[in-house]
Amino acid sequence: MEALDLTLAPPRSPRERLLGLAFLPRTIDKMRASLPGGNLAGYLVDFPRGLSAYMLKRVGVDLAAMQRKVAEAEDEADVLAWFAEHADLSDVEGLNAKLEALGMSRLPEDERAMVYRAHPGLDQRSDLTAFFDIFEFDDARHPARAAQPSTGR
């Protein structure tokens, strides 16, 4: 697969789904950005307590194996075929509901502080506590997005 440069555009929305699974497209984008020639632009893909690691663990896919597959794959269809073979997707909707509900309340204080450091301006948005909302807030402030004309949505 081609490497991605996340300075040019953020990864896909945490709510976007592939194979019915939320956060999978975003995880693939971040893994592509970690390839030679890519740029993670401060996004994390291999943080052991991150949502990518959590999602992959819940479906029984090893994070390092997934990263290797993304690195060697021809295209995203190749990654998805491999993922469908290796993942337990029997409770995708249940996992999606858990992913949507995960937020700041589950973190110890030191990790909350890390989230605030990683997402500038979040300390001014006490209404944002779910991780998906926090990631979308951060992505909306991405320089590539901020430079685009508003579509009114």
Residue 14: how many other CB atoms lie within 10 Å = 24
Q: 63 versus 111: which is more confidently predicted?
A: 63
Task: Please report, rounded to a whole number, the percentage of residues in the chain having pLDDT higher than 90.
Answer: 69
* 17-27: average pLDDT: 98
Cβ-contact 51, 99 below 8 angstroms: yes
E strands present in the chain:
17-18, 21-22
| Domain regions of the chain by residue span | 17-146
Task: Read off the tokens for 67.
Answer: 């990263």
Q: 42 versus 91: which is more confidently predicted?
A: 91
Helices (H) and strands (E) in the chain, counts: 8, 2
- Residue 147 reports pLDDT greater than 60: no
Backbone angles phi, psi at 49, to 5 degrees: -110, 15
Structure confidence by residue, pLDDT tens digits, 34-85: 999 999 988 888 888 889 999 999 999 999 999 999 999 999 999 999 999 9
Mean pLDDT of the chain: 90
